[in-house]
Amino acid sequence: MLLGPARTAVSGVATHLNQLFESRLSSQFRLIQFQVGREGRSESAAGVIARMLISPFAFAVCLARSRPRIVHINTSFEPKGYWRDLIYLGVAKALGRKVVYQVHGGALPHEFFGNNRALTVLLRRILGWPDVVVLLAASEMAAYSAFAPRARLTRIANAVSPCDADLSAARYLTSEPLEVVYLGRLAANKGIFESIEAVRILRERGVEARLTLAGSGIAAAAACQAIEAAGIADRARVIPPVFGTDKQHLWQQADVFVFPTYHREGLPYALLEAMACGAVPVASAVGAIPDVMQHDVHGLVVPAHDPAAVAAALERLARDRPLLHRLALAARKRVVEQYSVARLAEEFAGVYAKLAH
């Protein structure tokens, strides 16, 4: 039984669930879902409260009826998700189920409760409850191992299905403006305002670049205002979320995926999708991003909170199109060889099989 948001929700965890259900894993194991969280639901405030009160009991009933041997909890180390999913973890263990506890980003464990020693000690104990804790990044493996030596840890990176992509020289060796894309949740900590400022700096330097921010979120209106205030409405835009063929078309037209994030990322699907489709990442070294891309090999690494550095990276790619092409080829090769859905399914099949016996 996999716990997570509605599979129609716009989120990385929903993407992860869809990949597991649509992979060969579903032919090896009977996969069922128990929906948790607000993503993918339309609820009133009273409805949210009612669901939060009823959901743990509904989960226990679902376990009794479906009788799964393994419960796979998808969570993150952010306050709401942690406390919510802790209840499901307790219910699953109380009913004798094996638990896979997968952490999709968030704070590292030693930072999560700050200076609250009692809650930190409790967290160390809780990380020993699951039968397997699945992490996304090498940096997380090191931090969790040091924090909770008794926790049973394994690392399974996210994956994507590579799209059919044109990576010919003609796509990159052109005098057209550099096409820069961000796709994801529109929030300040994703670096979208630094990206807008970078395009403004490029305009001052006479570098032709066009920015598309595709997504939705609390910063959508502010991003539109920032574009107008920067005087770059002719070369920057905000568009709604894109899916399916529209998303693939956007990636195919992109030269660069701009992602100077300072959010506590896990392994962003947008990064893998962009690289698979030939959009060169200009990203900060957060979460598992350094595991996927190396500076000057698969993309360019920039510091967070530094629009000037983002502008310098974009200018370099705009002026050196052979470099842009070389990085695009290496980025796609990296994802195709190391981040396939087949590899993801195989690694989870190994985890499930070990727990089922």
pLDDT tens per residue, range 201-220? 999 999 999 999 999 999 99
CA 210 to chain centre: 24
Tell me the sheet residues that pair with 209.
178
CB 216 within 8 A of CB 179: no
Q: Any alpha helices (H) in the chain, and if so which ranges?
A: 12-22, 25-28, 45-66, 79-94, 109-112, 117-126, 138-147, 169-172, 192-204, 220-230, 244-253, 269-276, 289-292, 307-319, 321-338, 341-356
d(CA 288, CA 286): 6
pLDDT in tens, 84-108: 999 999 999 999 999 999 999 899 9
Question: Cα 276–280–284 angle (5° rounding)?
Answer: 110
d(CA 284, CA 321): 21
Q: Which of 47-51, 251-255, 261-265, 275-279 has the lowest mean pLDDT?
A: 47-51
Predicted TM-score (pTM) of this structure: 0.88
Q: What is the mean pLDDT of residues 170-194?
A: 96
Mean pLDDT of the residues in the chain: 94
Q: Is the confidence at residue 190, as pLDDT, over 70? A: yes
Class of the CATH-defined domain 2-159+340-356: alpha beta
Phi, psi of 211 (to 5 degrees): -115, 130
Q: Is the confidence at residue 352, as pLDDT, over 90? A: yes
CB 27 within 8 A of CB 21: no
Question: Cα 129–130–131 angle (5° rounding)?
Answer: 120
Sorted by where each begins, the domain ranges of the chain are: 2-159+340-356, 169-338
CATH number of 169-338: 3.40.50.2000
